[in-house]
């Protein structure tokens, strides 16, 4: 694994309280392409895939022209070509570098549309996220694998806690099949019996009680930031520290563009959609078990 002494030494300091950017994720990504080894570039691609996921969803929702995110690995043309090839010929374009879960997700989407089921929903995004985490956790790098699994767990725990708070069916919103997901599905105790397996569950129990969405999301990012500090402390000049810096930079970039009004609007939309999907899931269950 390569060492990046000059790169790390030259990076400007960043903190969770920063209100402006010295560099964007897109600019830093372009800089790294000239510095990182081929092996480490492959690891960084796992991070950029989150932006590709957004672009795939934008394509399926017919908003890709207005909302294309250039921070991803793949161009707009690449994504459209993959989708078109799967839709019209049910095949992956020759020599396509796209990860396997792209085609799995698009095929699932096309099958859902053919069966006259609603595809423009939070469940659609959850399905893509589940496939992403399932593959990313197997990336072969312990640091990245742990990072993805932690985020999977945080997302599932917050979903379970929110469902309990708002009286929704948690089964519809927990994704993945790891140990924590199983505990969340099976248990109804205060901490879903995860206390001994997850050292940050007590903090999540406090975070979910915060009424202001923006404060809640900020606290979650501070939890992630702390994890990055702890897990890169002894890897100062390794690729893990480069990835950690990019992850922190993306958090700051996100917070710089967010505002309270927009965040509260998003929160109301999410809760409304979750309630509707809980009803849809129940009706689908009844239909299948007549």
Rounded to an integer, the average pLDDT of 91-109 is: 92
Q: What is the band of 164 on the pLDDT scale with cuts at 50, 70, 90?
A: very high
Q: According to the model, what pLDDT value does residue 136 have?
A: 97
Residue that has been written with the tokens 């997901």 in this structure: 181
Confidence of residue 221 (pLDDT cuts 50, 70, 90): very high
H helices of the chain, where? 5-10, 25-32, 38-60, 64-67, 76-89, 100-114, 122-136, 142-166, 179-186, 201-207, 213-232, 239-257, 260-288
Query: Under 8 Å CB-to-CB from 99, ≥6 apart: which residues?
Result: 49, 135
Give the predicted TM-score (pTM) of the model.
0.87
Tokens of 98: 């796209």
Report the percent of the chain where pLDDT is more than 70.
86
Rounded to whole angstroms, what are the CA distances from 156 to 9, 122, 172, 188, 208? 36, 14, 11, 14, 12
- Average pLDDT rounded to a whole number, residues 101-116: 87
Alpha-carbon span 238 to 240, nearest angstrom? 5
**pLDDT score of 22:** 83
Return mean pLDDT, the chain. 88
pLDDT score of 290 more than 50: no
* pLDDT for res 281: 47
| pLDDT value of residue 35 | 97
Task: Look up residue 115 and give its two tokens.
Answer: 């069966």
- Whole-number Cα distances in Å, 221 to 17, 119, 127, 207, 237: 11, 29, 23, 11, 23
CA–CA distance, 52 with 102 (Å, rounded to integer):
9
Residue 278 is predicted with a pLDDT of 53
Looking up tokens 């999540």, which residue turns up? 204
């Amino acid at each position: 694994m390569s060492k990046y002494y000059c790169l790390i030494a030259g990076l400007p300091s960043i903190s969770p309280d920063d209100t402006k950017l010295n560099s964007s994720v897109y600019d830093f990504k372009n800089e790294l392409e000239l510095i990182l080894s081929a092996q480490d570039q492959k690891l960084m691609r796992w991070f950029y895939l989150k932006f590709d996921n957004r672009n795939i969803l934008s394509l399926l929702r017919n908003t890709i022209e207005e909302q294309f995110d250039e921070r991803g690995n793949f161009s707009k043309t690449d994504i459209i070509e993959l989708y078109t090839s799967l839709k019209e010929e049910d095949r992956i374009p020759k020599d396509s570098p796209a990860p396997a879960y792209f085609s799995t997700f698009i095929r699932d989407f096309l099958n859902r549309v053919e069966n006259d089921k609603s595809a423009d929903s939070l469940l659609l995004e959850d399905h893509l996220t589940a496939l992403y985490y399932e593959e990313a956790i197997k990336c072969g790098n312990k640091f990245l694998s742990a990072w993805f699994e932690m985020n999977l767990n945080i997302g599932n725990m917050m979903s379970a806690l929110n469902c309990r708070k708002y009286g929704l069916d948690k089964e519809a919103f927990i994704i993945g099949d790891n140990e924590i997901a199983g505990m969340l599905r099976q248990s109804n105790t205060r901490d879903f019996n995860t206390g001994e397996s997850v050292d940050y569950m007590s903090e999540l129990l406090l975070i979910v009680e915060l009424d202001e969405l923006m404060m809640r999301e900020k606290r979650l990012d501070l939890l992630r930031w702390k994890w990055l500090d702890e897990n890169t402390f002894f890897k100062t000049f390794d690729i893990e520290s480069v990835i950690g810096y990019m992850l922190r930079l993306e958090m700051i970039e996100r917070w710089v563009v967010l505002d309270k009004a927009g965040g509260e609007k998003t929160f109301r939309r999410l809760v409304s959609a979750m309630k509707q999907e809980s009803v849809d899931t129940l009706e689908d269950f009844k239909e299948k078990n007549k």
